Structure 1
């Protein structure tokens, strides 16, 4: 099957996986249905193409899962600034991205705590409002019963 039969994003994702060290091409073929010869061709083209390396999968780092971002933050946590910069450069990621992810990881529990606190406050307010409405309804029913 030719390249034109597959969406660009699909090919890029598959090529990124093909360039990983521990990937078995046959497994990708079974998962995607793309012909084995096409997969080998894509992989070889990618390896020969200037600027396309095993770090291609990092180019769309903003689309990573939370777990992948967290793992990257952990991998770089104990590196010096120079090592950190080199590592990011090797992976094709901007250090600023990783710093944002690190901040998000650090603040993750705070936002959950704030959300729970906010939810509890809103729930208390709704309960108070409900009690007021029930009292008002009972008062009006009593007044209606007295007039009728």
Structure 2
């Protein structure tokens, strides 16, 4: 296991590292994740997140980094250096792993984006005015309604 979602900020031990879009320390609880790096001690990150409902944590296709979606705010975390490596989106409604292509697709409010195992990113143009429904992924094909 490379990470675990905690029920809240722990009352003991080293303080959580606050990782926010603004880069400032936040003193409120968000999505709390404990990371287990290969070459250093475990540490805890606190992700306040955005304004959307979707939250998840998943392995990056590169096998080193971790993808954190906290209330729609999506970033790539480097667990070894306790840092945000990259920001993907602020409006993620769903993250979909596509192992056949070695990537993760992110459904936004009006578009899609993806990140591959080599960190190459792709962003679609705006596809919808009001979101999506019936999104389905089968092997390498993504279908749905806009």
TM-score above 0.5, yes or no: no
Query: Rg: which structure is higher?
Result: 1
| Greater share of residues in strand | 2
TM-score (norm 2): 0.22
Structure with the larger RCO, 1 or 2 (CA within 8 Å, 6+ apart): 1
| Greater share of residues in helix | 1
